[in-house]
């Protein structure tokens, strides 16, 4: 199964991705996570991405597409993958189609998690992350012990781009550049949408139904 996860910042893509990976045999490829890893290792790619991420802007398409194309050449993805946070522009979607086409492949599903705009800022500013990939929320999904990851015991931290003024810019970028992808995948007849404004379990139940049909 090859799928892309769409949805505005804070809709719950990362949260649901970690559940999808636990239940289905797909490799999780998050462009945001790859950029953050490069950033923490201070690589040239990380330094380049930081210029944009800190401002809540999208990293340029050429940089992002090259990075994804490289990731899709790794041998671990033969059983399927889930792209999270990519594509994010029409140009990225067209590039992905070309990469898949070259390999004689195609996407099975574009899964869009929608959520009320009023919820998104609250979700993002209250988010806390762990290095192991788990995501928490101070109010909606708190860890058992404050500031400590339930899964690995690691210390939780806040993402640099989760401050309120950066979040406003990220949401604007989404509306202008990423929202058009909903139509793009609808035209390809592979779009499914779930309502992400409900609890994590309810959203995952809907996603599971869709993925079970797609297997
Ligand atoms: P990226 O890391 O992809 O961030 P994003 O798309 O902005 O999405 P988020 O990670 O903020 O939200 P999410 O939907 O994963 O929500 P989450 O599950 O954490 O991108 C970051 C940056 O990298 C971009 O701004 C850009 O600069 C760059 N970038 C990345 N990809 C790029 C690309 N393709 N092209 C160009 N640039 C790119 O949930 C949020 C919070 O809500 C959490 O605290 C969670 O616990 C809580 N929560 C989740 N679900 C629920 C629920 N159902 N009920 C209550 N709380 C919930
Ligand atoms: Zn952890």
Q: Are 46 and 39 in contact (CB under 8 A)?
A: yes
- Give the Cα separation of 139 and 11 in Å (integer): 16
Residue 156: what pLDDT?
A: 97
Q: What dihedral angle (degrees, nearest 10) is formed by the CA atoms of 164, 45, 93, 26?
A: -90
The CATH class given to the 2-117+178-214 domain equals: alpha beta
Residue 21: what pLDDT?
A: 93
Residue 214: what pLDDT?
A: 85
For the question of residue 71 being annotated catalytic, the response is no
Q: In what side-by-side order are the strands of the sheet with 2-6?
A: 27-30, 81-84, 2-6, 109-114, 191-195
Which residue ranges make up each domain of the chain?
Answer: 2-117+178-214
Residue 49: what pLDDT?
A: 96
Give the residue whose CA is nearest to atom 29 of ligand 1. Answer: 32
Residue 134: what pLDDT?
A: 87
- Give the Cα separation of 157 and 67 in Å (integer): 26
Query: Where do we find the tokens 């609808």?
Result: 186
- Taking the model in full, what pTM does it have? 0.94
Q: Per 3-state DSSP, what percentage of the chain is helix, strand, and coil (rounded to 5)?
A: 50, 15, 35
Bridge partner list, 194:
113
Q: Are 99 and 87 in contact (CB under 8 A)?
A: no
* 86 is annotated as contributing to ligand binding: yes
Element (H, E) at 34: helix 31-40
DSSP state, residue 174: I
Six-digit token string for 23: 């239940």
Residue 171: what pLDDT?
A: 95
Residue 207: what pLDDT?
A: 98
| Ligand 1, CB within 6 Å, residue ranges | 7, 9-15, 31-32, 35, 52-53, 56-59, 64, 85-86, 88, 92, 123-124, 126-127, 135-137, 140-141, 161, 170, 196, 199-200, 203
Using DSSP, state whether 51 is helix, strand or coil. Answer: helix
Residue 78: what pLDDT?
A: 83
Residue 179: what pLDDT?
A: 97
Residue 33: what pLDDT?
A: 93
Quick check: ipTM above 0.90?
yes
Residue 118: what pLDDT?
A: 86
CB atoms within 10 A of CB 203: 21
Residue 25: what pLDDT?
A: 85
| Ranges in the chain, pLDDT < 70 | none
For the question of residue 127 being annotated catalytic, the response is yes
């Amino acid at each position: 199964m090859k799928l892309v996860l769409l949805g505005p910042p804070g809709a719950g893509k990362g949260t649901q991705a970690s559940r999808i990976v636990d239940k289905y045999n797909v490799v999780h490829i998050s462009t945001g996570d790859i950029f953050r890893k490069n950033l923490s290792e201070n690589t040239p790619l990380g330094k380049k991405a930081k210029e944009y991420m800190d401002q809540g802007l999208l990293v340029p398409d050429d940089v992002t597409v090259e990075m994804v194309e490289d990731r899709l050449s790794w041998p671990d993805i033969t059983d399927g993958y889930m792209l999270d946070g990519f594509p994010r522009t029409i140009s990225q979607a067209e590039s992905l189609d070309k990469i898949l086409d070259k390999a004689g492949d195609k996407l099975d599903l574009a899964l869009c998690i929608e959520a009320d705009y009023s919820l998104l800022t609250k979700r993002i500013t209250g988010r806390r992350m762990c290095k192991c990939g788990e995501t928490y929320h101070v109010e909606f999904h708190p860890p058992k012990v404050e500031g400590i990851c339930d899964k690995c015991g690691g210390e939780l931290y806040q993402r640099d781009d989760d401050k309120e003024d950066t979040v406003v810019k990220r949401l604007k970028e989404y509306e202008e550049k990423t929202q058009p992808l909903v139509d793009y995948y609808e035209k390809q007849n592979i779009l499914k949408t779930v309502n992400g404004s409900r609890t994590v379990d309810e959203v995952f139940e809907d996603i599971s139904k869709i993925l079970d049909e797609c297997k």
